[in-house]
Structure 1
Amino acid sequence: MSRKINDTILKAFKGEETDYTPVWYMRQAGRSQKEYRELKEKYSLFEITHQPELCAYVTRLPVEHYGVDAAILYKDIMSPLPAIGVDVEIKSGIGPVIDSPIRKFQDVDNLGTIDPESDVPYVLETIRILSEEQLDVPLIGFSGAPFTLASYMIEGGPSKNYHKTKAMMYSDQKTWFALMDKLADMTITYAKAQVKAGAKAIQIFDSWVGALNVADYRYFIKPIMNRIFSELRETGVPLILFGVGARHLVMEWNDLPVDVVGLDWRMSITEAREMGITKTLQGNLDPAILLSDWNVIEKRTKAILDEGKVQPPHVFNLGHGVTPEIQPATLKKLTELIHSYSKK
């Protein structure tokens, strides 16, 4: 017998009226949960994602513990890169590390294409397990965006300034746009496969694109993002775009064929609406606030919910991901507050 799905968050993503403000948290799967930390003593992130039953368990945990309105697939934006020939390792305390960075056109030309069913079958099997057997809320699938993926591939790992990435973008446009096209094709194919397997929404993480100014975004990035979202519209599921430190780009995002604009904590919902953002807004409590006293958390959360009520639709989230220091009990209490305070 199929489970009844609470589709409140899907309605909000699509701009429809809901009985309360739905909520999920970026990086809600894992990070601060005791069960997850115990697993990470035995397995790496990639090892967990390669075991569908185990990965489904990690994905499901925050739904059961916190009562959130959506699950987000436990994996990394780096997950599809090995399939196209990128040797990436997630190193503890550092992040993704790529020993052979992209330096020239031939490096891009050597990259392959992704066939999700044969290259990442474990990701699709995890989605199927969750969608068919285990979840009573929608599952959000995701992919990294071309700029953010390219930044790791060119820098060789995390960067504070993206100088090598920008240098290629400015000085070698042939290589740059070839890489953007290659990564766009991968993103489209990968995201469509997730939807086919059962994901009910897709979030594209362009985490580091805020490093670019508006003019450069319009020229070097926006056409690629427009192609990605235009093709993903064919899936019929809600599409979400999120980045960090990108308040100067949100009007550009509003132009794209997305359903939801994700905000970090640097821009309020009121500011976004006053600027002319018409899409559903997602966000945007600073995760650091969850390390404060409860009275501070409650006050800040209610303020965001009030802004969302005045100018809906709104889906509550953090302005970036859950950090390891945040207590699971705090996230559970926060979810209960969001639901109770916003209920009509």
Structure 2
Amino acid sequence: MGFNTLILDVLEGKKVSKKPVWLMRQAGRYMPEYMAVRKKVSFLELCKTPELACEVTLQPIDILGVDSAILFSDILIPIEPMGVNLDFNPAPYISNPIEKLSDVKKLRVIEPENDVPFVIDTVKLLVKELNVPLIGFSGAPFTLACYMVEGGGSKNFVKIKTLMHTEREAYNLLMDKITESTVEYLQAQIDNGCKIVQVFDTWAGIVSPKDYSELVFPYVKKIVDSLKGAHVIYFAKDSATFYSKIKELGCAGIGVDWKIELDEAAKLLDNKFVLQGNLDPVLLFTDKATLKENIDLIFDKTKNVKGHIFNLGHGILPETPVENVKFLVDYVHSKEI
């Protein structure tokens, strides 16, 4: 079988007869094959062992038949060599969170070849094995800053918002260092064979439109403008109220969550981008008739968009029935456009 260019064709504006499909967290806990590998090592060890990371990246290609692989890793991997103590138990935990300017000054910008060689080695292994494009990825600066300041996940994000508004020098320097590290990290993935990179801004939606515009967006734009040699997709959860700003980005694709219809998202974004998404991941727990109905709706809503990559509105959830995921991929592939 030849190399599957379907997702690249869509991102490049070529006419296609089928929608490409891949799924966020397509390699992961819902798959028995993944869990068999995971039993041997901790999560961080899995991320840092190229042969194993390669194995679990390939599983959904073989099992589901998706049109792209996404590097198996975690968005927090590059912040560890910046100078934070990272662990997972199973949620991410940082024992030395950033609290003040002096903490930020101790952080350093990473050098991917020296600091995360296992990521580069995994990319190299995958490029040799795959007959579909490889998506590299990173967290967006604000999302990474949330973890670094909060010390993990958070309900109200009091610490990062307080730092943002009362310690502006510390906040700006933190975002500058994360942004520079992220550019280096993503460019290394591109230089070693990733044809697409996705920037995940999971926590972008916790701030006001004004704060997003002034204190979050400029760092995303700097990343998009700096990267060379790959298509960039930006995915910001709960971000529809920011589309008037997001449409200024020069990236190829925008990931869309399930809280806005795709035709409405295209309108707000001036139909400038290939859209990606936006099935609610919980629908994978329902029956095939419900899945069909909601997949058909997404096809209907994307008739007039610039281009569309079928995906979820966020990652696959644990305990998702694999047979429903396989049905989704097969049904999307069965539909002509």
TM-score range relative to shorter protein: over 0.9
Is the aligned partner of 1:153 residue 2:148? yes
Q: How does 1:297-308 map to 2 (within 5 A)?
A: 297-308=291-302
Instruction: Return the letter of the residue paired with 2:75.
Output: I
Please name the residue that 1:77 is paired with. Answer: 75
Is the aligned partner of 1:107 residue 2:107? no
Provide the secondary structure at the position in 1 that maps to 2:309.
Answer: strand
Please name the residue that 1:267 is paired with. Answer: 260
After superposing on structure 2, the runs of 4+ consecutive aligned residues of structure 1 that deviate more than 6 Å are none
Contact 1:14/1:280, CA 8 A, preserved across alignment: no
Which of 202, 205, 223 is the aligned partner of 1:228? 223
Instruction: Tell me how large the CA RMSD over aligned residues is.
Output: 1.2
- Cα distance in 1 for partners of 2:194, 2:12 equals 15
State the shift of 1:71 in Å. 0.2
- Cα distance in 2 for partners of 1:72, 1:124 equals 14
- Cα distance in 2 for partners of 1:248, 1:222 equals 13
Q: CA-to-partner distance for each residue in 1:264-309, whole Å, 9 max, x for gaps?
A: 0001111112323421100000000110111101100111012122
Which of 9, 16, 19 is the aligned partner of 1:18? 16
TM-score for the superposition, normalised by structure 1 = 0.95
Q: How does 1:1-344 map to 2 (within 5 A)?
A: 4-92=2-90, 95-132=91-128, 134-232=129-227, 235-275=228-268, 276-341=270-335, 343-344=336-337
Contact 1:254/1:261, CA 8 A, preserved across alignment: no
Provide the secondary structure at the position in 1 that maps to 2:57.
Answer: helix
Contact 1:241/1:260, CA 8 A, preserved across alignment: yes
- Cα distance in 2 for partners of 1:171, 1:50 equals 37
Q: 1:106 to 1:87 in 2, by over 3 A?
A: same
Contact 1:15/1:279, CA 8 A, preserved across alignment: no
- Cα distance in 1 for partners of 2:271, 2:172 equals 28
Instruction: Return the letter of the residue paired with 2:50.
Output: P
Contact 1:284/1:318, CA 8 A, preserved across alignment: yes
- Cα distance in 2 for partners of 1:114, 1:5 equals 33
- Cα distance in 2 for partners of 1:281, 1:105 equals 38
TM-score for the superposition, normalised by structure 2 = 0.97
State the shift of 1:311 in Å. 2.3
Instruction: Return the letter of the residue paired with 1:44.
Output: S
- Cα distance in 2 for partners of 1:237, 1:11 equals 13
Provide the secondary structure at the position in 1 that maps to 2:77.
Answer: coil
- Cα distance in 2 for partners of 1:250, 1:99 equals 35
Instruction: Return the letter of the residue paired with 1:256.
Output: L
Instruction: Return the letter of the residue paired with 1:339.
Output: H
Contact 1:251/1:277, CA 8 A, preserved across alignment: no
- Cα distance in 1 for partners of 2:305, 2:47 equals 38
Provide the secondary structure at the position in 2 that maps to 1:255.
Answer: coil
State the shift of 1:327 in Å. 1.4
Q: CA-to-partner distance for each residue in 1:74-127, whole Å, 9 max, x for gaps?
A: 0000111111111111122xx211111101111111001211111111111111
Provide the secondary structure at the position in 2 that maps to 1:310.
Answer: coil
- Cα distance in 2 for partners of 1:87, 1:251 equals 37
- Cα distance in 2 for partners of 1:302, 1:251 equals 28
Structure 2's unaligned 5+ residue stretches are none
Contact 1:45/1:75, CA 8 A, preserved across alignment: no
